[in-house]
Structure 1
Amino acid sequence: MRRRTRPSRPSQPTDRRTTGVAARPGARACRSGALLAIVGLVATIVLGAVAAPANADAIDDRRKAAERQKAANEKERSDAEEVLEGLEGELGAVSDRLLEVRAQLPAARLAVQEAEAEYAKATREAAIVAARLQDAREQADDLSATIEADSSESSRLREAIGQMAREAYRGGGDVSGVSMVLDADSSEDFIRRADLMSQALRTRAQVLDDLQATESGNRNSAERLQAVQTRIGELKDEADAKVEQSKAAKKAAEDAKATLDALLAEEQEKQAALLAKKGEITAQLARIDRESKRIESDLRKAIEEQKKRDAERAKDPDPGDPPPSSSGTLFVNPTQTRPIHVTSEYGMRYHPVLHYWRLHAGIDLRDYCGNDVYAARSGTVAWTQYRNGYGNQVMITHGSVNGRSLATSYNHLSSFVVRPGAYVKAGQLIARAGNTGMSGGCHLHFEVYFNGATTNPRPYLPL
């Protein structure tokens, strides 16, 4: 019997976490496609690792840009609120909601980008794990085939050994050198018998060696198959988790997109509603501006009366008023908030939808509804009344300061504590802060008048 030569099996690349298994030649074509897919996925991972910092930087840049845009939109919203301050009905609310939506859009767009990036990442990872799982399954198939083939070979070798044993038994079982010499008819017969005996012994030894090698290889293959099957279970669990992660990321991306679409639709709706009411808004703002002119006219009369009172009294400066200083401060803090806090400055405001410019003629100071409001300087209460666009208003005249008549107004109040004609000292309680006049939120709108015209209060406040 000739020795059976077992063909060598070329090694195949494997997942580092799986046991390496030699592939059967017939399986090479099947495995090559999977291996190419794995190589491609590994390249994707490597390139992804190289590109990861760049992608992270891009996300960070987009996040910073979204934050800057949100801050700009919030400033735009604040300015637009001042433009439409005092509007009656829901016009101001529609405008405020429009600009609130615009302020939310940068974050919503960023959320969509981040969710889509997370979905793409989860999908890539799921594909990588799926390829590893497929590779492990193919390794298990190869090992099972190898074990089956080796088992058949082992059975064949055992049968051959049994056949040799049976033939030896039928021949008397004695293949010793003595019997070979005694039974030989001639020297040629002896040589022939010796050659046959030597060949039989070599064949038997070779078959035994083959059986031992085959069974040892089979045990090794069985151990590797068990390891691969364990790895298959792990990879299957990981693949299932990645699929679920991908589904969740896809759902998050869809939800983020739906949120963005809803905001964009609402933005268009509110903008259309606001533009449709532009004529009504313009008319209301014109009425409020006329109210401002009436206030200035009424104030000029009050200033004349104050001048007469001051002349009659020959009043010295009230010791409670802030003393003249290089800083120019003329007032004490009129709010209960300590330290004084400005929420909106004096100046022109622009509405981004209506394209309407309007003067915010005072400075908004933080004060909560019901908080105390104090006289910023000693003077006489000119009036306490509701004024269109200003809500409840207290006007105080302070006489002449540096050759100019001075007055202050306190607006959007919830209630009055003083009456017209009363003389108040700096820091005296005069009213409670509120939100009257459709102001959009509790605060104190504080105005300063020199010679009956508004001016920026900031330089004269203790800020």
Structure 2
Amino acid sequence: MSRRRRLRSRMLALVLVGSLAGLTAVGGPAIADTLSDKRAAAKKQEQENAAKREQLAASLEGLSAELGQALLDLQAMEQRMPQAQAELAEAQESLDRSQREATLVAARLQDALDQEVSIGSTIEQDTARATRIRESIGQMAREAYKGGGTATSMDIVLGAKSTEEFIEQYGLVSTALRTQTNTLDELRELQAQNANSQARLEAVRGRVQELKAEADEKVVEADAARAQAQERKDEIQQLISQQAAKKAQIEDQKAAAEAEAAAADAEAAKIAAELAAIAAQQRAAEAAAAAAAGKPQAPAGPVGGSLFANPTSINPMYVTSNYGMRLHPTLGYVRLHAGIDLRTYCGTPIYAGRAGSVQWAQYRNGFGNQVMVDHGLVNGSSLMSSYNHMTSFSVRSGQRVEQGTLLGYSGNTGTSAACHLHFEVYVNGGTQDPGPLLGR
């Protein structure tokens, strides 16, 4: 098959290709018209997605790492879906545009090819006509040579034997002369037309080559757009399948998650009981000291004010989840989030928020690696703080620490979905919102 026929076949296939409109219904945010708007919208969406991931990770405390990761994966898929659908719509639009442009280029190319054929045919016809005229002129020249040359008007006057003969001969000569003149004029006109046709033919041939190159480019563009659209379609179908699999996995693990949550709640209750016992001992010791001094023991008062410094290396301190009741995203019940979650990154330093002594530095079920710092009595009330999910310790039980002392490094131990610091404050063995005590 010739190059021209191959190109025309590809262009025809491009024009007749089926629409991808039935791939998947598109949705999500509108695509901005300008590149700067698109970048701004993409950055904003990325920031919103990051905030949602952080919020979800904070809400997953009390779940196993496997289930927490499954939930994070599911959220990532759900966040990716609108973007993939928007990219599919953009690829479809690009394919449609390429097809429209390819149709126009194909029409222009066909018109140029038709002109090339038409001009070529005209040149062939004019050349054949010029050849015949030259042959006719040559024949007339040969006949004139054989007859002794062309008769002049004087020859006709002197040679005529009668008026009638003169008129007849003069008419024949005049007709022959006019015929020769017309023939030469036609030859010159054909030569000029041929020169003009040749110039037009060269111009058309150049345009044909340009259009062929442009047509090849349009084919490449359309192929790329079609491939991009197919990739997005495949990705969307894969996301749908993966979402279904993740949801099934999460559903299967709900029973285990409920058991883990119950175990974490039991551990929290155990810790509270231990701290309440320590608080009672502290109050008893204070009462004994007051009695020995002959003074009454001061009543236990509220604990308030900015008592703690930022325990993280992130400055300013950034809260990802506050203290209070919240709905569990998987189990569907409302439970107390007994601390405040602060943004940290894996392996970043964790510092003591206030001076005190380390009550323990050990692994606690659900809390992971935990450092509990005893700050003694404040306004007659026992005050303690805990630093949870740490990856490693830098202190030991019984050690005295000052505000800013390195306790260890942030991690994701226990039932945590991402590296962060879960910071809790205990007053007389019960948790209290750490936010106001951190100056929040």
- TM interval, short-chain normalised: 0.7 to 0.9
Is 1:131 the counterpart of 2:112? The answer is no
Per-residue CA deviations over 1:127-182 (Å, capped at 9, x if unaligned) read 22222211111110000110011112112222222233233334332321110101
C-alpha distance in structure 1 between counterparts of 2:45 and 2:259, whole Å:
32
Partner of 1:164: 140
Deviation at 1:188, TM superposition (A): 2.8
Partner of 2:294: none
Report how many residues are paired.
399
Partner of 1:355: 332
Is 1:461 the counterpart of 2:438? The answer is yes
Structure 1 residues 109 and 311: alpha-carbon distance in aligned structure 2, compared to 1, 3 A threshold: farther
Is 1:194 the counterpart of 2:170? The answer is yes
Is 1:395 the counterpart of 2:378? The answer is no
Is 1:340 the counterpart of 2:317? The answer is yes
C-alpha distance in structure 1 between counterparts of 2:40 and 2:332, whole Å:
28
Task: Indicate the RMSD between aligned Cα atoms, in angstroms.
Answer: 3.2
Partner of 1:151: 127
Verify the 8 A CA contact 2:54 2:320 in the aligned structure 1. Answer: no
Partner of 1:425: 402
C-alpha distance in structure 2 between counterparts of 1:180 and 1:382, whole Å:
146
Verify the 8 A CA contact 1:306 1:380 in the aligned structure 2. Answer: no
AA of the residue aligned to 2:226: K
C-alpha distance in structure 2 between counterparts of 1:353 and 1:116, whole Å:
37
Is 1:215 the counterpart of 2:188? The answer is no
Kindly indicate whether structure 1 or structure 2 has the higher relative contact order, using CA contacts under 8 Å at least 6 residues apart: 2
Verify the 8 A CA contact 1:73 1:99 in the aligned structure 2. Answer: no
Structure 1 residues 306 and 287: alpha-carbon distance in aligned structure 2, compared to 1, 3 A threshold: same
Per-residue CA deviations over 1:87-131 (Å, capped at 9, x if unaligned) read 336222222222222222222222222222222222222222222
Verify the 8 A CA contact 1:80 1:350 in the aligned structure 2. Answer: no
C-alpha distance in structure 2 between counterparts of 1:56 and 1:331, whole Å:
46
Structure 1 residues 429 and 81: alpha-carbon distance in aligned structure 2, compared to 1, 3 A threshold: closer
AA of the residue aligned to 2:389: H
Deviation at 1:347, TM superposition (A): 4.2
Query: Paired residue for 1:119, among 89, 92, 95?
Result: 95
C-alpha distance in structure 2 between counterparts of 1:58 and 1:458, whole Å:
43
Deviation at 1:274, TM superposition (A): 0.6
| Unpaired segments ≥5 residues, structure 2 | 1-11, 13-29, 291-303
Per-residue CA deviations over 1:398-444 (Å, capped at 9, x if unaligned) read 34445654321111123344444544332233334333214233332
Is 1:57 the counterpart of 2:36? The answer is no
Is 1:382 the counterpart of 2:356? The answer is no
AA of the residue aligned to 1:453: G
Deviation at 1:251, TM superposition (A): 1.2
AA of the residue aligned to 1:217: Q
Query: Paired residue for 2:233, among 253, 257, 276?
Result: 257
SS at match of 1:174: coil
Partner of 1:331: 308
SS at match of 1:376: coil
Verify the 8 A CA contact 1:448 1:456 in the aligned structure 2. Answer: yes
Query: Paired residue for 2:85, among 90, 109, 114?
Result: 109
Verify the 8 A CA contact 2:393 2:407 in the aligned structure 1. Answer: yes
Partner of 1:446: 423
C-alpha distance in structure 2 between counterparts of 1:383 and 1:174, whole Å:
136
C-alpha distance in structure 1 between counterparts of 2:341 and 2:242, whole Å:
30
Partner of 1:174: 150
Work out the percentage of aligned pairs sharing the same amino acid. Answer: 47
C-alpha distance in structure 2 between counterparts of 1:60 and 1:260, whole Å:
26
Greater CA drift, 343-352 or 111-120: 343-352
Give runs of aligned pairs for residues 73-112 of structure 1, distance below 5 A. 73-88=49-64, 90-112=66-88
Verify the 8 A CA contact 2:282 2:382 in the aligned structure 1. Answer: no
| Unpaired segments ≥5 residues, structure 1 | 1-36, 38-53, 315-326
Deviation at 1:397, TM superposition (A): 3.3
So what's the TM-score if we normalise by structure 2? 0.80
C-alpha distance in structure 2 between counterparts of 1:352 and 1:395, whole Å:
28
C-alpha distance in structure 1 between counterparts of 2:55 and 2:208, whole Å:
63
Structure 1 residues 211 and 402: alpha-carbon distance in aligned structure 2, compared to 1, 3 A threshold: farther
Verify the 8 A CA contact 1:330 1:460 in the aligned structure 2. Answer: yes
Deviation at 1:221, TM superposition (A): 0.7
AA of the residue aligned to 1:435: N
